[in-house]
Amino acid sequence: MTPVRPRRPRGGGGRRRAALSALVLGVTLTACGTRSAAPPAAAPPARSTPTTATVPPTTTTVPPTTTTDPGTLPQTPAEPGFGAPLQAQMQVLWSAIVTDSPAAGAPAFFPRSAYLQMKTGVLADPDSDFTDRLVAFYGLDISAYHQQLGPGAATATLVDVLATPADAAWIGPGLCENTIGYWHLPGVRLVYQEGATVSSFAVDSLISWRGVWYVVHLGPNPRPENVGTVDDPQAGPGTPGPAGGC
C-alpha cells in the first residue's frame, strides 16, 4: 500500500534527519523546500501576481533546451509565472508519473548545478545530498504517485493544475540553510481524471531558478517514513497550499 500524507497546517515542522534505506545513507535533511515554517525574508523582490490561479491544460510544451546548463548561471530574483510555463513543467512531471519514469521527470526537477551553488559552504557534501537524498526520494515518490493512479494509470488525464500565487514567497539568502535566495511555492495540485472520476494530489514544494519553477520535493518533506509518499491525495480537485515553508 502506497503511504499517503494528509495535508496539514504549515509551521512548527522543524527539521529531521533521516536515512533512506539502500539509497540514502547518513545524508542530512536540509530546509530547502521544506514544509516547516520559513523565517521572514527581508526585502523580497517586487511582484504583481493575482491571488489565485487555475492553470488549465494546454498543448504548451517545455521550451527547447540549450546546451547551457541553467544551474551554472547566476540566480535571478525573477518570480516564475503561473500560466503556461508552470503548466509545461507540471506536464513533464505528469508524464513521468503516468509512465513511472523518474528519468522522464528529470527536466522538471531542480538542477543539480544550481543546488550545488545554493548549498556549497553550508553542507559538507551537497553533491551527495542532492543525489542520495533529493533525487532518490523523487524517484521513489514518482513510483508512489504512479501507484496512486491504480490500474488506469495509462489512461489517466491531467485536467488542471491548481496554484495560489499569493502563497509564493521569496526566501532570502542565508535563510533555510541556503546561500542564494529563491522563490518557493507550496502545495501545487495536479487534478486528474480517470473515467468519470476526478481526483488530485499535491506537489509538496517548487522552488525557482532564473525565473523557472522546479520540483524540489514531490512527496512531503519531512515525511513519516523514508519511502515513496503521496502528498495529500483527495477525491476531487482539492485546495492548493497552504502557504508557508521554505
Q: Where are the domains of the chain?
A: 53-61+81-246
Start-to-end C-alpha separation, the chain = 29
Question: At 12, which amino acid appears?
Answer: G
Q: According to the model, what pLDDT value does residue 5 have?
A: 57
Instruction: Record the cell numbers describing residue 77, joined without a space.
Output: 530574483
How many other CB atoms sit within 10 Å of the CB of residue 224?
10
* DSSP conformation letters of 57-77: --S--PPPP-SS-GGGSPP--
Q: Is the pTM of this model over 0.75?
A: yes
Which stretches of 5-156 are DSSP H helices?
84-99, 112-119, 126-129, 136-149
The answer to whether 67 touches 134, Cβ cutoff 8 Å, is no
Q: According to the model, what pLDDT value does residue 6 have?
A: 53
Q: According to the model, what pLDDT value does residue 33 have?
A: 56
Q: According to the model, what pLDDT value does residue 201 have?
A: 98
Q: According to the model, what pLDDT value does residue 73 have?
A: 96
Q: According to the model, what pLDDT value does residue 41 have?
A: 44
Q: According to the model, what pLDDT value does residue 13 have?
A: 34
Q: Enumerate residues 6+ apart whose C-beta is below 8 A from 165.
A: 49, 50, 51, 52, 53, 82
Low-confidence ranges of the chain (pLDDT < 70): 1-66
Q: According to the model, what pLDDT value does residue 34 have?
A: 55
